[in-house]
Amino acid sequence: MTGVSQILFAVEPWAPTGTLLTPFMDGRSFVDLVTKYEKSHGWEDAGIHEGLVLGREQLQDLPRFLVDGQSLEQFGTTGTVLLGCTCGNIDDGSFFGTVQVRDEHVTWRDFQNPLARELDWDYSDLGPFVFDRAQYEQAITDAMAEALG
């Protein structure tokens, strides 16, 4: 098993009424990690991802998405939306992964970018990322509390 990482979700306002939720693993932005991975493969449109821009209702249901694995949107793709597009639209440029929840750990793996499907972008050697389940769920609770006030 891969080493266990610490996760937190940075919370920032997104005009006019949304909230930008960006995952950080061991102090490093997941957005930056994915962008660096894409650029290292020479992919032309690398770096189109941003944290998730969520409305209040989506924030209230955050555990359903990040623990229970229900998707924020349907893109003809299985998996959980982990990043959105730099434009802020969750239906455009989303980055997906499988969120596997076990008794003691949560694992992010099997990443895919549906917009790059025709380009044969392969993320098979990105991750997996393993988190302590209690710390992961606390990070979600902390982000919800900060975002929802």
* b/e 71-99 (16+ beta carbons within 10 angstroms → b): ebeebeeebbbbbbbeebebeebbbbbbb
Chain centroid to Cα 92, Å, comes to 14
Residue 23 is predicted with a pLDDT of 97
3-state SS assignment for residue 27: coil
Tens-digit pLDDT string for the chain (149 aa): 569 999 999 999 988 778 999 999 999 999 999 999 999 999 888 888 899 989 888 888 888 888 876 666 554 556 788 998 877 777 677 888 999 999 999 999 999 887 776 777 899 999 999 999 999 999 999 999 999 98
Tokens of 98: 């499988």
Range of the domain at 45: 4-148
Residue 21 is predicted with a pLDDT of 94
Total number of domains constituting the chain:
1
